[in-house]
Structure 1
Amino acid sequence: DLNHLVSVTMSGVTTCLRFPGQLNADLRKLAVNMVPFPRLHFFMPGFAPLSAKGAQAYRASTVAELTQQMFDAKNMMAACDPRHGRYLTVAAMFRGRMSMREVDDQMMSVQNKNSSYFVEWIPNNVKTAVCDIPPRGLKMAATFVGNSTAIQELFKRISEQFTHVPTQSFPSLYTGEGMDEMEFTEAESNMNDLISEYQQYQEATADDMGDLDAEGGEEAYPEE
C-alpha cells in the first residue's frame, strides 16, 4: 500500500515537530542540519521496519535491526542506491521505548563500518533523535532522512529521458501554451549543473574542502 508507506514515512519525518524532542524541532532547523550547500537540498527518505500492513503486530524489531534496515537501499523511498554515493548529512528518528545509548552505539557502529559512505569533511553529520511514542500498530520504528550524492542517479535518468524526447512534437505542447524553448534548454542545463555539483562533493576530500574555504568558495550552512 503506497499511501500507507508515504504516510508512515512523513509521520516519522515530522515526529520531532509534533512531539517533544531536541532534533529538528522546526523546519528551519531541519534545513540547517541537513543542507550543507544551498542547491544540495534533495533528500532520500526511508523507513523501518517495512512489512505487510497486517503483519506488523506480529513482528518485533530490535534497535540493531531497525538501524541496519534504515540504511538499506530496499528501504529507501527514492529510486537510487545510496551505495553509489556518499552521505553529506543524515537524520534518524527512532520511535518507541528504547535505550538512547543503544541507539547511539548502533548508529556509531554503522558509521564506523561504512565510513567510506560518509564524507569526512562535515563533522557530526549524523543526527539522531528518540521519541518514546511509537507509531500506531508498531512497538518500534525508525525514519531515515539522508542527503546523499547518490540522488544524482535520479536526476541523470530524468536528463536522459528528456534528451530522448522528440524535439518537435512533445515540447510544442508547452510552447503552444506560451512557454519558450529556451526554458527547456535552461532547465536541462540547471539539472546537469546540479548533477555535476553532487559529483564534485562526492569526490571531494577534506583537503579539497580546506582549499575551497581558503579561496572563499561556497560555505556550508552553519550547524545548529
Structure 2
Amino acid sequence: MREIVHIQAGQCGNQIGSKFWEVISDEHGIDPIGEYRGDSDLQLERISVYFSEANGNRYVPRAVLVDLEPGTMDSVRSGPFGQLFRPDNFVFGQSGAGNNWAKGHYTEGAELVENVVDVVRREVETCDCLQGFQLTHSLGGGTGSGMGTLLINKIREEYPDRIMVTFSVMPSPKVSDTVVEPYNATLSVHQLVENTDETFCIDNEALYDICFRTLKLTTPTYGDLNHLVSAAMSGITTCLRFPDN
C-alpha cells in the first residue's frame, strides 16, 4: 500500500488538518475513537494510506501535529476527534514564534525540529511503501511558515525520493492578522519552490468570497473557511484513498 504521512504545523495548519481528519474519518466510517462504524468494504480497502491499524481494531491517523506553543494542541485534543490521534505524535514548544518567520526557522523552531523529525521517522517505519508527505500550514504566521519550511527541508534531506505536497494558506490584505504576513510569506515561498513537488495555494480572501456569494453566510468564521479547505483536500485525495473502479 502507498502510505502518506500527514504533518500539520502552526495554529492554522492544525485547525485545517484537524478538520481534514474529521472529514476523511467520516468518509471511511471511522468514529472519534478510531473504531470502524462504516457499511462498505470500499471504505476499508485503502484505509491504510492515511491510517495505521492499532490494537483492538482501532485506526490511528498517520499524522504528526506540531506547534511552538501548547494552546493549539490543547484545543485539538479537546476537539471532537482529539482522541483519534496518537498522543506521542503531538510535538510542541512553550514559547511560540510570535508571527516571526526567523523564530520558526532558525531559533525556537530549529530547537524543536529534531523531535518532530524523530516522530516522522517513527511514522515512516510503520509504512510498507511510503508514497510521500503532506503538510498543512499557513504562510502568514511564524510557526507554519518558518518551522513548516524548515521541516520540509529536513524531510527532503532524509527522504529525497518521496513526494512532498503542501496545502499552504496564503495571506491576503483583506483578511490579515498581522502586519508582517507578507514578509513571512515571501521568505516561505522560496523554500516551497525549492523543496516541494506540489503546493496547493489556499487564499483566505477567495474562501470568504465563496462564503458570502455562494453559501450566503453573513459572518463567516474560520471554522467555515476550514470546512471549505477540508472539502477541497478530501476531493484532491479521494483517488488516493479509494479504489479507482
The TM-score with structure 1 as length reference comes to 0.31
Bigger relative contact order, structure 1 or 2 (CA pairs below 8 A, ≥6 apart)? 1
The TM-score with structure 2 as length reference comes to 0.29
Higher strand share: 2
